[in-house]
Structures are given as C-alpha cells and as structure tokens.
Amino acid sequence: MTNVSEQTTYVLTCLYGLEEELCDEVAERLKVEPFHGWSEVGFSFAGEPARLRELRLAGNAFEEFERFPIGPAHEDLRVLEARLSRLPVQQWHEHAVAVAGQALDSPELSVSVDRSGEHSYTYKDVEELACDVIREVSGRRTVLDPRPLELRILIRQETCHLRGRLTPTPLSRRAYRVRRARCETDPALAAAMVRISQPTARGRFLDPFAGTATIALERALLGLADRVVASDVNPRRLDWARANVQAAGAPVHLVRADTHRLPFPDRAFTRIVTAPPQGDPSDGTRWEPQALAALLADPFRVLEFGGVSVWLVRDARVFEHAVSLVGFNRLVEKLTVDWKGKPCQIYSLERVP
C-alpha cells in the first residue's frame, strides 16, 4: 500500500496560458498551495495519488523525486549517480498505478533527458548512466523508447530535476470521446472555459456550436445544473455529439438548431460557453465582423441579463469588432492560450441590459 502520510511533490503539465486556472483548480480540489511555471503547475500533497484524476485542466502528471544543483563538468555526474541510486522505483510504480486506475502494461522503465546550458557531458552520457544505475538498483530493464513508466531527467543550467511520469495517457484524455473531429475543442481547454464562466448550481447552460459536445459534457459532468443544452445545425456533428453523450452517461440535451435562429426564448440561459467557427486566416477563409456579429446576436439574445458567456476565438480583432456591433456586453476577462501551436483568446463577457 502507498504511504500517504508523507508529502509527495507533483508536477502537472497544462496548455500554455492555463497555469493560473489549473492552480485554482488544484487549490480548490486538493486543498494545497500550488505554484506554476511555464505550462506546468507544482504542489506537495499527502493524499492519495488517485485524487489527481479529479483534475480536469491537467495534461500529464509527474512525481518530482528530487531537485538538486549539478555542475557542468563530467565528474559532476557522480552527483546524479548518487541521486539515481536512491530513486524510489517501487513507490513510483504504486503511484502510477493509482493515478492510472489500472495495472501498467509494461514493467520496463524508459529514460528521457532534456538539457539546456553548457556542460561537458552529453545526452548520451546522462542516458547511459541513468539506465545502468536504475537497472542495478531496481532490477528492471531500462530502455530509451517510451514506456508507461518514464524517468525524465531535466538539466536546466546548473539545476537537475528527476521526475517520474505517472500518466500513461494524459489526465485530459476523456473516456467519453468515442467520436472525434478535427476541429474539436481540447477537453482540458473546454473544462477551463467552463470554470471561467463561474458556473452556479441550478444554472441553465448552452453551447450553441456543439460539435462533438466536449464543452457541454465538461459542464454536465460538474453536476448541479438545471439544464445543459448543446445545439448544432449540422446533423452529422449532432450524431457525433450524441455518441459522446451516451458514452459519458451525462444529462446533455441535444438540439438541432441554426445559431442565427435559436429555438429558445429570450434570456433562457444563465451561461453560454462555446467555440464558434471563425475560419482560418491562414487559408483565406475568415469571418468579416458584420457576418460574425449576425452569428453572435441570437446566442446573446437567449442569455439572461447578468449572465456570462465565454468564447474561444482565433481572431481577436474580428471578434471584438463583432461584439461591439451586437452591443449589450461587458468584458469581464480576456485570456490568451496556446492551442495546437496557435495563440487563441478566451473571452468572458457579461450580458448587460
């Protein structure tokens, strides 16, 4: 059994731009004080490792075994050798099984090295040392190809981090995604957008561009909503959404509807969270502000006064112009995130009379 009486240090990866949102989620769910760097959040936690599965905004999870200074000379690798010799491999394996929620399919360990700065030793020197020491200490076969148990050795200038991967598949991988689409929203990003909307109990939620229903499902799986609705004009996309909703067993009501003419009364919803299609400027297909404003007008109509809408957009200039043409909205928050290698913006708007 894993000993949970001692603090363990974890590092979670996330999409760039979501670090503070993930910090908030970690603090809220695990009751700890996290800290963040670039695309990662760290914290110490004495609870069960399986609780990391509660986190909806995280990507991969790592256990940080040690962080220590290391010099640039080849003989300084003796420091690394000493630290590797006391690597808690069995505990790491137990934690990985707990986070994965199932047995791992390979007993082998893989080693990866990431190094920055000037050093007299090479990647190969570090890899060979790590493989030899771990094999001697643990009796496990070590390889350089990916395995569920991966040791990451990060050497940043004169600091070395030893981290063990705990997630054979990322925490952001959702079992409900049985149908996929090329332009679907990443589940962790969808969960972040739902959090940014500040959902409330008994709320009424709408995603008017359902796609594969990822955003609506992330809201429904939080619970405490009166109604979660996802609409789309495309019957094929609704079929994809329906398959995912059935796989999740979540209460999402699917409606076929043209976003220009939504079949809902005025002010029917308390929250709207969505990722509207806006074209891709790189291939010459992009919205003009007037056309996008016409697409946004009816979703704003069905949002109650004081309600919040959250939008994931690519072209901030066009979106802001379109919103100004529709009117009756106040900017609450604007956040830039990196998604699929491109900067996108998350807008949070309050509906005003």
- The per-residue pLDDT for range 282-307, each reduced to its tens digit, is 444 578 999 999 999 999 999 999 99
Q: Which helix (H) or strand (E) holds 241?
A: helix 235-248
Contact 271, 204 (CB under 8 A): yes
* Parallel/antiparallel/unpaired status of strands 8-13 and 40-45: antiparallel
* Parallel/antiparallel/unpaired status of strands 342-351 and 329-339: antiparallel
Contact 252, 245 (CB under 8 A): yes
Ordered by start, the domain boundaries in the chain are 8-165, 187-351
Amino acid occupying residue 80: L
Contact 322, 293 (CB under 8 A): yes
Instruction: Convert the pLDDT of each residue in 17-27 to its tens digit.
Output: 999 999 999 99
pLDDT of res. 179? 92
Contact 252, 290 (CB under 8 A): no
* Predicted confidence pLDDT, tens digits, the chain (353 residues): 444 458 999 999 999 999 999 999 999 999 999 999 999 999 999 999 999 999 999 999 999 999 999 999 999 999 999 999 999 999 999 999 999 998 987 788 999 999 999 999 999 999 999 999 999 999 999 998 888 899 999 999 999 999 999 999 999 999 999 998 877 899 999 999 999 999 999 899 999 999 999 999 999 999 989 999 999 999 999 999 999 999 999 999 999 999 999 999 999 999 999 999 865 544 445 789 999 999 999 999 999 999 999 999 999 999 999 999 999 999 999 999 998 888 999 999 999 99
DSSP secondary structure code for residue 207 in this structure: E
Give CATH for domain 8-165.
3.30.2130.30
Q: Which residues contact 122 (CB under 8 A, 6 or more apart)?
A: none
Residues in the chain: 353
- Tokens 């070395």 belong to 160
Count CA atoms within 13 Å of residue 154 on its CB side: 14
Distance CA 318, CA 308 (A): 20
Count CA atoms within 13 Å of residue 66 on its CB side: 15
Query: Minimal CA–CA distance to 254: which of 289, 275, 273, 227?
Result: 227
pLDDT of res. 106? 79
Give CATH for domain 187-351.
3.40.50.150
Distance CA 286, CA 298 (A): 20
Tokens of 232: 């789309």
pLDDT of res. 279? 57
